[in-house]
Amino acid sequence: MLRRFLANAAAAALVGLAAAGSEAATVTFDSLPGYGDVISSGGTGSPYVENGVTVTSTTPGGFLAWWTNPGAAHIDDSGTDFTSGVMLTMGQAFDAISFTITSFGYDWFDTPGPLSNNIFVTGLAGGATVASAGFTLSSLIGDVQTFSLGAAFSGLDALLIELAYPINTAACGAPCGHFDLDEVVLSAVGPAPVPLPASGLLLAAAGLGLALIRRRKA
């Protein structure tokens, strides 16, 4: 019994050390102010801080706020008070995992041509671009899209998610496209834990085992 306990305790200690190196954080925008609140406050709603993540507008003076759906950041590509993108930081290195949007579609005046990659995602490290990806906003109003980011978006200092006005021969409104941003998942990359020597783990586990045996005898 004691041998099994020692083995289990040592394994649990190793798992604990491995798990201590990273911490996931999801930005849900649940406490983000609404458009009216931002106007009445005289500010822009930026920066917004949640779960150790700081979110700032990438558009100078652009509002970081919800519009019709509380708990989501409204992003559009031009012509309104809203920002066209956000930058997320954690104060330490992190991996960017995924983000979710709800499309508001497009305001086309004419039949549009094909669209591609009007959502731009950029990963920065040391002030330089180290990863980039493009996604296409759905033309279906209410369509929920979740985009996963690959291994290239690892060890970042900042993550940018931006919506660009589509370059198309068809006439479009301003904004042309817009969406609600939600559920941005990041994972902090902490300093590597210092592992205890195997003998140290066993001694610690043995101490726990002896304490339990003495308590049982008592």
CATH of the domain at 50: 2.60.120
Give the pLDDT of residue 92: 95
Give the pLDDT of residue 191: 58
Distance between CA atoms of residues 105 and 116, nearest Å: 14
Contacts (Cβ under 8 Å, ≥6 apart) of 185 = 24, 25, 26, 27, 96, 97, 98, 99
Name the one residue in this structure whose structure tokens are 């849900």: 28
Q: Are residues 201 and 120 in the same domain?
A: no
Residue 151 — φ and ψ, nearest 5°?
A: -65, -20
CA quadruple 148, 150, 152, 153: dihedral sign: positive
Give the residue from 218, 196, 199 showing the smallest Cα distance to 207. 199
Pick out the chain residues at pLDDT < 50. 1-20, 192-196, 198-218
Q: Are residues 56 and 124 in the same domain?
A: yes
Residue 114 — φ and ψ, nearest 5°?
A: -65, 145
Name the one residue in this structure whose structure tokens are 């990273």: 22
For residue 183, give the 3-state DSSP assignment: strand
List the domain range (segments joined by +) for residue 161.
22-190
Q: Are residues 107 and 185 in the same domain?
A: yes
Give the pLDDT of residue 41: 95
Cβ pair 58, 87 in contact under 8 A: yes
Give the pLDDT of residue 95: 98
Q: Are residues 16 and 122 in the same domain?
A: no
Distance between CA atoms of residues 209 and 207, nearest Å: 5
Distance between CA atoms of residues 71 and 53, nearest Å: 16
Cβ pair 134, 114 in contact under 8 A: no
Q: Are residues 12 and 120 in the same domain?
A: no
Q: Are residues 16 and 45 in the same domain?
A: no
Give the pLDDT of residue 197: 52
Number of domains in the chain: 2
Give 38-41's long-range contacts (Cβ < 8 A, gap of 24+): 38/63, 38/64, 38/65
Q: Are residues 9 and 43 in the same domain?
A: no
